[in-house]
Amino acid sequence: MSFKKSGKKKHFQNKAYLYLLPALTVAAAFCWYPSVKSIVESFLVVNQGGKVIGFAAFDNYRRLFSDQAFLHSIKVSVTFILLFVPANTFVTLLAASLTRRPSRLSFIPEYIFFTPVAVSLSAYSLLMSDIFRGEASVLNNLFSTAFSGITTPAGAMAVLVILGIFLDFGLDYILLMCAFRSIDRSVIEAARMDGAGGWRLYWCVEVPMIKNTVLVTIFLALKDALLISAPIIILTEGGPYRSTETIMFYYYTEAFRSGNRAVQNALASIVLLIAGAGMTVYSIFKRKKEAL
């Protein structure tokens, strides 16, 4: 159906914009306006009450980058991303791969793997804090182990990665399993007839066919890793010794709890910039792939 050179085209476009209007209004009020406001205010001196009292130029950014706690939080975030994203991709891909063929009993692993989606983040975080809290933890009591859990920096980071995987697992699993099951059967049959089987069929035919979905899960994991703060608030409070204080937890502590507007606006602008850059890279990548 084409609207070219037809008066209907304009009418159709106007109607489309009209349908979009509620979403655009919400986006403008709750996303664009605060974003632009943060960027503008990052160059101003704003007091705790939100009143602008002067021009700061780049002072807020200078202050932010001279704060050792902030620089440390960047290191922690990068460490978390490097540990979490590959581990999360591996675990979810493994689970989806092992259960990709529908069978009479496949509802059992599916049920188990879907369940994390239905449990709240806070509930999981609280549960994890009890399971892994120090020498006297539930885990150590049950298995007579001596895992230090969240009381040491390395243990706390490990527990956070495990929690992150748990939180992302359900959605990623659903996406990957749907992708596996929607692969055109004729391609797999053709590969089989050509003699491919087992590992080769999986790695050279099935995985390449779902790579766009894998990419989506990787980007989702990256976004979650960069923005992680709520599980940290509940599980470790950034500790011990700031070892799990990510950029967003630092933001929460300084901007939200301490009302430090200098940090709030400068850091919000930086995170916005990073997220914008990430989305741009993703869409360029996606367009190139689609063009191929």
Which residues here bind other proteins, judged by CB under 8 A?
45-50, 53, 63, 66-69, 133-137, 146, 149-151, 236-242, 245, 250, 253-254, 256-262
Nearer of residues 15 and 257 to other proteins, judged by Cβ: 257
Smallest gap from residue 18 Cβ to other proteins (A):
14
> Could you give the CA distance from residue 56 to residue 60 in angstroms, rounded to a whole number?
7
Q: Which residue has the tokens 């290191």?
A: 75
Nearer of residues 58 and 256 to other proteins, judged by Cβ: 256
Smallest gap from residue 243 Cβ to other proteins (A):
9
Nearer of residues 135 and 194 to other proteins, judged by Cβ: 135
Residue 143, CA distances (Å) to 134, 171, 225 in order = 14, 30, 30
Smallest gap from residue 51 Cβ to other proteins (A):
9
Q: How many CA atoms lie within 13 A of 136 on its CB side?
A: 0
Using DSSP, state whether 48 is helix, strand or coil.
Answer: coil
The residue among 262, 232, 255, 251 whose CA lies nearest residue 73 is 251
Smallest gap from residue 254 Cβ to other proteins (A):
6
CA–chain centroid gap for 140, Å, is: 30
Nearer of residues 103 and 144 to other proteins, judged by Cβ: 144
